Amino acid sequence: MIKDIIKLLPAAAVVLAGCSNPKTQSSCSDEDRFVDSVVNSLTIEQKIGQLNQISASGVEEMEKLAAQGLLGSILNESNLDNLHRIQKAAIDNAPHIPILISRDVIHGYKTIFPIPLGQAASFDPELVRHGSEISALEAASDGIRWTFSPMLDIARDPRWGRIAEGYGEDPYLTSVMGAAAVKGYQGDDLKNPQSIAACAKHFVGYGAATGGRDYNSTFIPMRLLRNVYLPPFRAAANAGCATYMSSFNDNDGVPSTGNKLILTDILRNEWGFDGFVVSDWFSIGEMINHGFAADMKDAAAKAINAGLDMDMVANAYVDHLQDLVKEGKVKESKITEACKNIVRIKYRLGLFENPYPTIPQSVKYAGEHLVAALKTAEESAVMLKNNGALPLKNAKKILLCGPMADAPHDQLGTWVFDGEKEHTVTPLAAFKQSEYDVTYIPGLTYSRDNNTSKFAEVVRAAKSADAVIFVGGEESILSGEAHCLSNLNLQGAQSALLAALKQAGKPVISVIMAGRPLTITDDLKNCDAVLYMFHPGTMGGEALVNLVSGKVSPSGKTPVSFPKNAGQIPVYYNQNNTGRPASGHEILLDDIPAEAGQTSLGCTSYMLDTGFGPLFDFGYGLSYTEFAFSDFKINQTEFTSDNDIIEVSFTLKNTGSYDGAEVAQVYVRDLVGSITRPIKELKGFKKVFLQKGGSESVEISIPVSQLKFYGLNDVEVLEKGSFDIWVATSSANKDIKWKTTIEVK
Ligand code: BGC
């Protein structure tokens, strides 16, 4: 088939030239020969065409550009007929290079999975891989072969709305989940027509936006960048991620889209990446707003010279690269290189052989996809509190209330372009199908609703119910891109409704569907149990019924620390120790007498009102059942090489009365380093499902290379010394089950 396409290419293209891919220079592959042949035959205008990505406009216009070979990729077009016309125009006309069709398939295409932050709470990378595989299959049935996912931005600030789109605050968890997503989208071979290219975004630092305000500047020093923000992107490169997206932010003055250090020196030269980098939406043009480029032409030069291959919608490359070459400001070889990077991925995707979709339409919302979405929603739910109200035992009459109890659009979460709310199973729909006798009175119609006029009716109904299930949180539009908040309390009159419900004297179970950890500190006293579901996607309602009924025991763990209030942000578990670490016995606001004199009491790192720790620690989550750990072993306590493996093993037993899962977490503390080191860092975890009474011996392996970090000289090192290592059920010290010290000699 490739030969058929080659037949269409100009004669010069068929000459199998030398290799240009630096990774394979010594052993020129068929791929290299093909890419070189195609690209070397192009005019400069056609090469620039490949670097051009546009958003869907009129189909005739797109067809024309494609026929002229001036289009490399499109996004936001999902009409199959239009896509066929555009692809045909590209294939039928010189230079016969297929268009790469892209879309934001973020947590599902039609079948919507929980938002990525929720998926992270599952601590189950296989669920993430499988969900991404399903998303790829459904998207590929509509001709989409490239998604702008996974988002790997470490987010320590839940005011930032995009925290919903990533895997939370931890570099290790984000690396594991990100790599799983890449594998799911891309499969074993991108050529498989059901796989789609992944895009690791936003490269890099975007989640550290000042004050949690989207698009804001970041100030991440190199060591922090290396040790916290870059690792997930490196893991994605190791997993074979085909593309990267530059981020909107400037870090310490340099916008990512024009940052050669990031895009070329680190990504390509250090990590050996040979796919392509796309800008974020118009981010080449935004370098003018940043005051980093004088005009669009200058911005185009800065981007291509930094190593940015594809221009998303700014038209900067199409409008200016030819002139920049003539003026000697950009070398044509830069354009050729970028073009090859893009054609290489098209080749790997098998687009030259199979430019049109071959996956049947019937895969959308397939039964097994819904089952996978249900399981992911169940495993993403974190039980934050339970005073015995859950699971529902003798309760038959349920009052279902709250603004998210029947919100088919909002429970899907942010970044849903293709999933249809008609397919959503809401809590109301699921309860109606259940054994419970359910009364539904929402009380509030949407999350920001301040109208309390229905409260009396809701409380009356609560009094005659056995239990109350309040489903609240935030609408999908309150998180995601550009949707940042300074107040993270429940919106509208939701807290007032919870307080009113408490007065009815019946168990109140709060279910929160949200795009971020909300500050529910003051609401906890009004809830007998809290299940945090994030935005759970299509199957959220059924997952909820399975959880509250006890059919499934909650097993999610928080992928991010829950702040007590917004003023406490940033609060994250893997911080450095400071010279004055909080002891946990500090004086608090109410302990201070009036007219208190100056005192050195409490001069440690904490806040007078919130104390030191968060409301809920990273890695925390309750279950209906109980687990006992025993027989801890470690393979050795002295290690000498970064090829060594630390093997921690133990027996885990389900000692409670429900089937369930525990997430065993291994943390490490490097006691003394050439720079100050985090007080704890997650380095391994395993989610273990056990039937009641069941037990299993569990082994968690941690390569010693994971103890490396970028030290004093900005070089990655394995430093000699002592490391505490422990197994726990959360990042909180109280949840440590076993601890030892190892030496790196
Ligand atoms: C977002 C990206 C997204 C792109 C394309 C931008 O505004 O930052 O995450 O992939 O748009 O829709």
- Residues 654-685 have pLDDT tens digits of 999 999 999 999 999 999 999 999 999 999 99
Spatial distance between the Cα atoms of 23 and 136, rounded to a whole number of angstroms: 28
Q: The domain spanning residue 43 has which CATH number?
A: 3.20.20.300
Model pLDDT, residue 78 = 85
Q: The domain spanning residue 440 has which CATH number?
A: 3.40.50.1700
Rounded to the nearest 10 degrees, the angle between the axes of helix 316-326 and helix 332-348 is 140
User: Relative to the CA of 248, which ligand 1 atom is closest?
Assistant: 8
Are 66 and 111 within one domain?
A: yes
Instruction: Please tell me if the CB atom of residue 280 comes closer than 6 angstroms to any atom of ligand 1.
Output: yes
* CA distances, 446 to each of 357, 402, 471, 491, 493 (Å): 39, 8, 11, 9, 10
Are 169 and 119 within one domain?
A: yes
Are 215 and 254 within one domain?
A: yes
Best residue among 152, 281, 286, 483 to mutate for probing ligand 1, ranked by most atoms within 8 Å of CB: 281
Instruction: Please tell me if the CB atom of residue 286 comes closer than 6 angstroms to any atom of ligand 1.
Output: no
User: Relative to the CA of 201, which ligand 1 atom is closest?
Assistant: 9
> Any idea which residue has 């009052």 for tokens?
399
In a domain? residue 588: no
In a domain? residue 361: no
Distance 138 CA to ligand 1 centre (A): 20
* 471 contacts 405 by C-beta, under 8 angstroms: yes
In a domain? residue 572: no
Best residue among 76, 148, 216, 279 to mutate for probing ligand 1, ranked by most atoms within 8 Å of CB: 148
Instruction: Please tell me if the CB atom of residue 215 comes closer than 6 angstroms to any atom of ligand 1.
Output: no
How wide is the angle at C-alpha 425 spanned by C-alphas 424 and 426, nearest 5°? 105
Distance 362 CA to ligand 1 centre (A): 28
Best residue among 280, 310, 311 to mutate for probing ligand 1, ranked by most atoms within 8 Å of CB: 280
Are 322 and 435 within one domain?
A: no
Distance 254 CA to ligand 1 centre (A): 20
* 245 contacts 275 by C-beta, under 8 angstroms: no
> Any idea which residue has 């997952």 for tokens?
543
In a domain? residue 581: no
H-helix or E-strand containing 35?
helix 30-40
Distance 501 CA to ligand 1 centre (A): 41
**Which residues does the chain have with pLDDT short of 50?**
1-17
Best residue among 481, 483, 484 to mutate for probing ligand 1, ranked by most atoms within 8 Å of CB: 481
Distance 184 CA to ligand 1 centre (A): 21
Instruction: Please tell me if the CB atom of residue 169 comes closer than 6 angstroms to any atom of ligand 1.
Output: no
Spatial distance between the Cα atoms of 394 and 605, rounded to a whole number of angstroms: 47
Question: Which residue CA neighbors atom 11 of ligand 1 most closely?
Answer: 281
In a domain? residue 575: no
Spatial distance between the Cα atoms of 307 and 243, rounded to a whole number of angstroms: 13
Spatial distance between the Cα atoms of 45 and 93, rounded to a whole number of angstroms: 15
Distance 148 CA to ligand 1 centre (A): 7
Distance 497 CA to ligand 1 centre (A): 36
Are 341 and 445 within one domain?
A: no
Are 312 and 416 within one domain?
A: no
In a domain? residue 23: no
Q: Of 526, 549, 572, which one is at a domain's C-terminal end?
A: 549
* 102 contacts 53 by C-beta, under 8 angstroms: yes
Distance 312 CA to ligand 1 centre (A): 9
Model pLDDT, residue 316 = 98
Spatial distance between the Cα atoms of 500 and 491, rounded to a whole number of angstroms: 16
Are 433 and 334 within one domain?
A: no
Q: Of 494, 521, 549, which one is at a domain's C-terminal end?
A: 549
Distance 181 CA to ligand 1 centre (A): 18
In a domain? residue 353: no
Model pLDDT, residue 598 = 85
Instruction: Please tell me if the CB atom of residue 153 comes closer than 6 angstroms to any atom of ligand 1.
Output: no
Quick check: pTM over 0.95?
yes
Q: The domain spanning residue 730 has which CATH number?
A: 2.60.40.10
In a domain? residue 460: yes
Distance 279 CA to ligand 1 centre (A): 9
Question: Which residue CA neighbors atom 4 of ligand 1 most closely?
Answer: 281
Are 496 and 379 within one domain?
A: yes
Model pLDDT, residue 21 = 65
Instruction: Please tell me if the CB atom of residue 162 comes closer than 6 angstroms to any atom of ligand 1.
Output: no
Are 231 and 315 within one domain?
A: yes
Beta-bridge mates of residue 397: 437
User: Relative to the CA of 247, which ligand 1 atom is closest?
Assistant: 8
Distance 149 CA to ligand 1 centre (A): 10
Model pLDDT, residue 6 = 45
Question: Which residue CA neighbors atom 2 of ligand 1 most closely?
Answer: 280
User: Relative to the CA of 199, which ligand 1 atom is closest?
Assistant: 10
Model pLDDT, residue 25 = 59
Distance 428 CA to ligand 1 centre (A): 33
Question: Which residue CA neighbors atom 12 of ligand 1 most closely?
Answer: 104
User: Any catalytic annotation for residue 280?
Assistant: yes
Model pLDDT, residue 10 = 40
Are 74 and 188 within one domain?
A: yes
Domain that holds residue 697: 627-744
Structure tokens at 584: 């946990």
Instruction: Please tell me if the CB atom of residue 481 comes closer than 6 angstroms to any atom of ligand 1.
Output: yes
User: Relative to the CA of 202, which ligand 1 atom is closest?
Assistant: 9
Instruction: Please tell me if the CB atom of residue 281 comes closer than 6 angstroms to any atom of ligand 1.
Output: yes
Question: Which residue CA neighbors atom 10 of ligand 1 most closely?
Answer: 148
* 558 contacts 533 by C-beta, under 8 angstroms: no
Question: Which residue CA neighbors atom 5 of ligand 1 most closely?
Answer: 281
Q: Of 296, 314, 348, which one is at a domain's C-terminal end?
A: 348
Question: Which residue CA neighbors atom 7 of ligand 1 most closely?
Answer: 281
User: Relative to the CA of 151, which ligand 1 atom is closest?
Assistant: 9
Q: What are phi and psi of 452, to 5 degrees?
A: -95, 10
Question: Which residue CA neighbors atom 6 of ligand 1 most closely?
Answer: 281
Please identify which of the residues 124, 153, 280, 311 carries the catalytic annotation: 280
In the chain, the N- to C-terminal Cα span, in Å, equals 56
Model pLDDT, residue 603 = 85
How many structural domains comprise the chain? 3
Are 421 and 527 within one domain?
A: yes
User: Relative to the CA of 165, which ligand 1 atom is closest?
Assistant: 9
For 621-643, the pLDDT digits (tens) are 999 999 999 999 999 999 999 99
Instruction: Please tell me if the CB atom of residue 104 comes closer than 6 angstroms to any atom of ligand 1.
Output: yes
Are 299 and 389 within one domain?
A: no
